[in-house]
Amino acid sequence: MAIPAQAEKPDISWGGELFAENCSECHMVPHDDEWFKARADAGNMADLDSLRTRVQGCANNFNLPWFDEEVDAVTAWMNQEYYGFD
Ligand code: HEC
């Protein structure tokens, strides 16, 4: 299957916008950045794959019609902000 060029490099700043628009309802109010930093430290996510699965899961729970591009972008943004997986 051909992968579009942009899918190889997730757009991190777009991921941040998507998160702010779609995820902050639960994850910034009343939670703030400290919550995700603490979650990242707690080590519930083993690696980038499990983080991506969780992002997809939260998007599904919330009935967001996200494609892989959106999930990848938000995963990349969250990884940069909080998780720091290779
Ligand atoms: C309806 C509320 C709600 C929305 C909207 C929501 N989440 Fe969540 N999310 C939660 C809750 C509650 C947890 C904690 C579940 C638990 O304790 O395991 C969680 C956990 C997570 C985790 C795991 C954190 C960790 O390290 O354990 C990630 C990643 C995550 N959410 C990403 C997202 C993303 C991305 C979105 C936007 C698509 C989103 N969430 C939208 C409620 C929500």
pLDDT in tens, 30-53: 788 899 999 999 999 999 999 999
- The burial of 34, by beta-carbon neighbours within 10 Å (0-12 exposed, 13-18 middle, 19 or more buried), is given as exposed
Residue 29 lies in a domain: yes
Residue 16 lies in a domain: yes
The domain total for the chain is: 1
Residue 3 lies in a domain: no
Residue 6 lies in a domain: no
- Would you say the CB of residue 45 lies under 6 angstroms from ligand 1? yes
pTM reported for the whole predicted model:
0.90
pLDDT per residue over 64-76, tens digit each? 999 999 999 999 9
Name the closest-CA residue to atom 1, ligand 1: 26
Q: What residue numbers bound the domain in which 34 lies? A: 11-83
- Would you say the CB of residue 16 lies under 6 angstroms from ligand 1? no
Ligand 1 mean position, distance from CA 59 (Å): 8
Residue to mutate (ligand 1; options 14, 26, 32; most atoms within 8 A of CB)? 26
